Structures are given as structure tokens and as C-alpha cells.
A = this chain, B = another copy of it.
């Protein structure tokens, strides 16, 4: 009797390999051949689960998004029943910043994806949805007037801090000091 193939397990095996290649060598190094070698399977096997590079890219980003959502949820859960708007935003943004080695790996994948989609905007409708959802939430928590523009600015500041943390231009301390200074201004 042939062994039953566990598709979910295989897909996870390949996906993990894909994420390791992306985090170690950059998303531009992600290819059928590289991912297959890293997973210890054939290129044909990888192709069975991810047909194109775009599909691999989108999958890597989905993994990164899911992990960030889990980090935010966990961090929020520690805040108790009725946190101040400032503490809520500070906690959410700190949970999304690449401040340690684990989150840096995810951050590198996310940044590579942003660079990839800046050339191929069609590859990333979900990025725009994420942004609308996040700025909407932030605006609902910020003091009026001008909450929409301030929310767009705070999200951009977060993205820029992430880029500079990954590039080594800012230390974790500098990034958090910049975030706190900005929240001081927003909440007066």
C-alpha cells in the first residue's frame, strides 16, 4: 500500500525552507532551485506547491503577516481591560517593529516584499488593505483634529523605524526613543 502523502506537512516543510532562504540571503535569492535544495526535496516537488516566484513571495509575506498579528495580539493581551490610547498604540507598534533577531528575520522578508511590489504593484493588493485597516484603527484612537493625517504619519514613522532598524542605522533604543517622542507630541 503506498504511503499516504501528508500535503500539509510537505507544504510546511517547503514553506519553512523558503522563509530560511529569504531571511538569510534575501527574497531575491528565493527560487525553485534554492528552496528545493534548502528543503532537501526536488525542484518539481516545490513547483507542485508553489507554481511561480510570485506565489512563493505572496506565501512568505502571508507567513510574516500572520506572525506579526500573533505578536500584536499577545502584546495587547498583556495590557489589561482598559489601556490608554497611547499605551495601546505604543504596544502595538513596538510589537510590529523588528527589535530582536526573530522579528528581524520577518522584517527582512517584509522589506524585500515591499521592494518587490514597488516594481510590481499588482502583486500586493493585500498590502494596501492592511494599510487602510491599520490607519483606520490608529485614527480611531488618536485625538482629533487631523486624526487621519496623524495616523498616516504614525504608520509611516513605524515603517521607517523598521527600515532603519533592519539596516542598522538605528539601534532599538533610538527607535523606541523616536517612537516615544512622537507619541508625546501626538498625545500632548
Interface residues of A (CB under 8 A from B): 23-28, 107-108, 111-112, 114-121, 124, 127-128, 131, 146, 148-150, 152-153, 155-161, 163-164, 166-170, 174-175, 177-182, 184-186
State which of B120, B127, B164 has its C-beta within 8 Å of the C-beta of A159.
B164
State which of B107, B111, B152, B181 has its C-beta within 8 Å of the C-beta of A177.
B152
The 9 closest A-B pairs by CB, nearest first: A28-B28, A156-B160, A159-B160, A160-B160, A149-B181, A153-B178, A115-B115, A118-B166, A152-B178
C-alpha gap A107/B118 in the complex (Å): 9
Interface of A is mostly: helix
9 A-B pairs (CB sep. < 8 Å)? A28-B115, A114-B166, A114-B167, A127-B167, A128-B167, A131-B170, A152-B170, A155-B160, A156-B178
C-alpha gap A126/B119 in the complex (Å): 24
Q: Is B116 in contact with A167, judged by CB distance below 8 angstroms?
A: no
Q: Is B111 in contact with A114, judged by CB distance below 8 angstroms?
A: yes
CB contacts (< 8 Å) of A185 on chain B: these are 150, 185-186
| Chain B, residue nearest A150 (CB) | B181
State which of B160, B169, B180 has its C-beta within 8 Å of the C-beta of A163.
B160
A167 to chain B, nearest CB (A): 6
Known: A128-B169, A186-B185. A26 touches B119 (CB 8 A): yes
Known: A150-B181, A153-B181, A156-B178. A118 touches B127 (CB 8 A): no
CB contacts (< 8 Å) of A158 on chain B: these are 156, 160
